[in-house]
């Protein structure tokens, strides 16, 4: 398996740290600094996680303040109900990650309204390829089957805001949520 330059740099840094750990005498004042390196790295990682989490919440709150486009239609509600059934969870767990869509739709409230977002799509991956998060503009979105095939450099999506993320109901006029079941075959 081919390593990327970033992975190679991480391996070199790890072995350099191990070299310092064994080369610096434990009675030396420098040994405390060597032990601080993992603690400082852990603080940086924790800071990035908190920053990302607060950013996602902030963008979801900004989307919630936008005026609604329309009410959720019956065909969209039926499609979300079907995907929210416990027997349909398997498509949502490619690497052990699971989103309870039924609970997410309940978090959308009683008056479920559709909002519009615009922007480029991006994907952030944590843990190499295990934890993927898709964004349209600054908002974290859940793409149901088939929607990812209709992503463009600049997107227009109708979404249902469910807590800190939005479920895509319509994407670029090419894909609708009621078509998603057909993409599971």
Round to whole Å and give the CA distance between 76 and 73.
Answer: 5
Q: What is the DSSP letter of 98?
A: -
Q: What is the DSSP string of 11-56?
A: HHHHHHHHHHHHHS-TTSTHHHHHHHHHHHHHHHHHHHHHHHHHHH
Gyration radius from the chain CA atoms = 22
CB 149 within 8 A of CB 185: no
pLDDT tens for 43-86 read 888 888 788 778 888 888 888 888 888 888 888 888 888 777 76
Q: Per-residue pLDDT for the chain (185 aa), expressed as one digit of tens each?
A: 567 777 788 888 888 888 888 888 888 888 888 888 888 888 888 888 788 778 888 888 888 888 888 888 888 888 888 777 766 655 454 444 566 677 777 777 777 888 999 999 888 776 555 567 788 888 888 888 888 888 888 999 999 988 888 889 999 989 898 887 777 66
Backbone CA torsion sign across 23, 28, 33, 35? positive
Q: Measured at the alpha carbon of residue 50, what is the angle toward residues 36 and 67, in degrees to the nearest 5?
A: 165
Question: Domain limits of the chain?
Answer: 1-65, 66-184
d(CA 68, CA 113): 6
pTM exceeds 0.75 for this model: no
Structure tokens given for 46: 């924790």
Q: Are 160 and 167 in contact (CB under 8 A)?
A: yes
In angstroms, rounded to a whole number, what is the distance separating the alpha carbons of residues 80 and 66?
A: 22
């Amino acid at each position: 398996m081919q390593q990327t330059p970033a992975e190679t740099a991480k391996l070199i840094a790890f072995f350099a740290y191990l070299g310092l750990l064994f080369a610096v005498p434990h009675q030396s004042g420098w040994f405390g600094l060597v032990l601080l390196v993992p603690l400082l790295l852990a603080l940086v990682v924790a800071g990035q996680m908190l920053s990302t989490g607060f950013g996602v919440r902030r963008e979801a709150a900004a989307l919630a303040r936008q005026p609604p486009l329309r009410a959720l239609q019956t065909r969209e509600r039926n499609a979300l109900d079907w995907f929210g059934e416990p027997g349909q969870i398997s498509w949502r767990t490619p690497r052990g990650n699971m989103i309870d869509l039924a609970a997410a739709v309940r978090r959308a409230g009683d008056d479920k309204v559709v909002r519009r977002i615009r922007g480029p799509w991006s994907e952030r991956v944590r843990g190499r390829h295990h934890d993927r998060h898709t964004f349209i503009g600054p908002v974290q979105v859940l793409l149901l089957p088939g929607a990812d095939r209709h992503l463009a450099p600049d997107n227009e999506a109708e979404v249902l805001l469910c807590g800190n993320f939005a479920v895509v109901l319509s994407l670029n006029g090419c894909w609708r949520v009621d078509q998603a079941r057909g993409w599971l075959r």
